[in-house]
């Protein structure tokens, strides 16, 4: 499969298996294992005082992992990606002892939380590593994604949205099975229609390959995420990055994982200091609990603490503002926190399905998957992936060169909290693209009446031929409108040139106005 197509029982073997004990701290690695990257764990880039210094932790790495009943890793990239982009994809097991955290005081809505260390417990989880084969192609940035587990399985939606930028621009990537749910199951979001195997947790999907995995519970997930991030800061050959020389490590997470990153930013990052920036994608109005007790969930309206000294880019869709009530957690842009709200975007959309289907065809074969359109109707085909890729590029520039991303208008809302819309049903305000400024349909982040699963996919309502003719009496009128909007978005920093060109080329191929 070409990357462009996305848009639109044998014993486990361990060839060249490695078992490497890495002595790590929460902020950096010991000198005998390689020099920590600039900034990671540097007190000047962290916030004083919430977590006592962590004890040294022995982390064992085993891999690359192969074999198992299926002889393929869960969440493998679509067929052809490795060859096309000259990347390698490997799976590793990470073992260590993780610490849980307890609230020390109150979880104030401003995010300035204090926590203390709780119990410790052993764990073994897995990471998926994607890196350029040629070290000279590495751009110096390691992305670490907190995998999403909302439907009871490990998913990498961030990579799905961002892969053209990640693989095309030389990033290294680590996807982390940080939470217990992805390993053993227990979904919180019911998917309508027949059950499908793609939602199996790791130990059910391939009990042989993933037999060694063990997770003590989500209270320990934050420290697991820290330990994996610390691995990425080591300049050493004997680690999954195979000697790449990183400049910075960026945490990314979407949807439920975004709520985890909000909690991580407020409670763990200030002292751990492993991550040089965070891309929080599609968070709601609250934050995730620190422990297994849902009563520990912070109240709606929790912000990211304003005293963080690392860049944070919050990327939101219409779904997040409406259904998930991000409006309650809106906060002013600062020198270190910037929010983009994307008009016409839904948290899950057609791009989500395109990548997921292409990926699953490799690791899940022809096994059944849900027909989302049949369940939910016409779903959102909006500009989220393109704006997300621009967000990543701007965040990288922020980290490496100190250039803060452009500030964006928020989406406009009515007095009763609804997203304000024009006569065609498209949102007002927010990050603007041709999808809403030279539209051929109304795009919303609000699904129909088929439940929360469908609601996350939003809706598309194509314009009638009469409305299209009214807006665009000629094909040239349409392509000019698209080009003008795309150029404005690119010049403003909200579209990359490659995506601008692809949008304009699609318009030129269309029949609109003909």
Residue pLDDT, tens place only, 313-362: 999 999 999 889 999 999 999 999 999 999 999 999 989 888 988 898 88
The number of CA neighbours under 13 Å toward the Cβ of 514 is 6
Alpha-carbon radius of gyration of the chain? 22
Q: What is the pLDDT of residues 75-100, one digit of tens each?
A: 999 999 999 999 999 999 999 999 99
Can you tell me the distance from the alpha carbon of 133 to that of 144, in angstroms, rounded to the nearest whole number? 18
What are the C-alpha distances in Å from 448 to residues 133, 159, 325, 326, 379? 44, 27, 17, 20, 9
- The tokens for 431 are 């990050």
pTM over 0.85: yes
pLDDT score recorded for residue 189: 58
Q: What is the pLDDT of residue 497?
A: 98
The residue whose two tokens read 């390959």 is 209
- pLDDT at position 452 is 79
Please say if the pLDDT value at position 57 is more than 80: no
| Whether the Cβ atoms of residue 228 and residue 174 lie closer than 8 Å to each other | yes
Peptide bond into 64 cis (omega under 30): yes
Helix pair 256-267, 221-232: axis angle to 10 deg? 80
> Would you state the structure tokens that stand for residue 81, as one six-digit string?
């990606």
Q: Looking at the predicted structure, is the pLDDT value of residue 9 above 90?
A: no
Alpha helices in 206-245 (DSSP H): 221-232
pLDDT at residue 449 in the model: 66
Answer yes or no: is pLDDT of 378 > 50. yes
């Amino acid at each position: 499969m070409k990357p462009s197509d996305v848009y639109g029982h044998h014993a486990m073997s361990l060839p060249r298996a490695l078992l490497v004990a890495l002595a790590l701290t929460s902020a950096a690695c010991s000198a005998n294992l390689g020099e920590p990257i600039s900034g990671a764990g540097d007190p000047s880039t962290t916030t004083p005082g919430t977590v006592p210094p962590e004890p040294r932790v022995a982390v064992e790495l085993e891999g690359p992992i192969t074999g198992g009943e299926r002889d393929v890793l869960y969440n493998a990239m679509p067929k052809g990606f490795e060859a096309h982009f000259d990347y390698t994809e490997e799976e590793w097991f990470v073992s260590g002892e993780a610490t849980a955290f307890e609230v020390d005081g109150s979880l104030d809505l401003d995010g300035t939380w204090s926590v203390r260390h709780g119990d410790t417990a052993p764990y073994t989880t897995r990471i998926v590593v994607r890196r350029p084969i040629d070290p000279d192609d590495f751009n110096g940035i390691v992305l670490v994604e907190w995998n999403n587990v909302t439907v009871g399985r490990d998913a990498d939606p961030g990579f799905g949205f961002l892969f053209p930028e990640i693989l095309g621009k030389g990033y290294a990537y680590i996807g982390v099975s940080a939470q217990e749910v992805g390993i053993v199951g227990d979904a919180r979001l019911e998917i309508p229609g027949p059950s499908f195997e793609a939602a199996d947790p790791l130990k059910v999907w391939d009990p042989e390959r993933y037999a060694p995995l063990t997770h003590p519970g989500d209270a320990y997930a934050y420290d697991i995420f820290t330990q994996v991030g610390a691995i990425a800061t080591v300049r050493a050959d004997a680690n999954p990055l195979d000697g790449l020389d990183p400049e910075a490590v960026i945490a990314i997470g979407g949807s439920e994982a975004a709520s985890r990153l909000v909690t991580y930013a407020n409670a763990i990052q200030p002292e751990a200091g492993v991550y040089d920036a965070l891309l929080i994608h599609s968070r709601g109005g609250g934050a995730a609990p620190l422990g297994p007790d849902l009563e520990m969930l912070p109240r709606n309206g929790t912000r990211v603490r304003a005293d963080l000294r690392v860049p944070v880019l919050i990327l939101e869709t219409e779904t997040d503002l409406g259904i998930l009530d991000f409006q309650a957690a809106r906060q002013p842009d600062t020198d270190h926190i910037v929010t983009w709200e994307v008009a016409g975007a839904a948290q899950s959309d057609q791009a989500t399905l395109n990548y997921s289907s292409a990926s699953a065809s490799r690791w899940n074969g022809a096994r059944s998957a849900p027909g989302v359109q049949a369940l939910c109707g016409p779903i959102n085909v909006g500009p989220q992936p393109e704006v997300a890729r621009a967000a990543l590029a701007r965040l990288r520039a922020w980290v490496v060169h100190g250039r803060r991303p452009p500030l964006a208008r928020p989406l406009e809302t009515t007095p009763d909290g609804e997203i304000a819309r024009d006569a065609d049903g498209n949102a007002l305000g927010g990050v603007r693209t041709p999808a809403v400024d030279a539209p051929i349909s109304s795009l919303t982040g609000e699904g129909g009446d088929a439940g929360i699963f469908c609601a996350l996919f939003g809706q598309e309502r194509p314009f009638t031929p009469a409305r299209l003719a009214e807006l665009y009496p000629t094909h040239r009128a349409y392509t000019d409108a698209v080009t003008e909007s795309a150029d404005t978005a690119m010049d403003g920093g909200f579209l990359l040139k490659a995506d601008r060109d692809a949008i304009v080329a699609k318009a030129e191929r269309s029949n609109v106005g003909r």
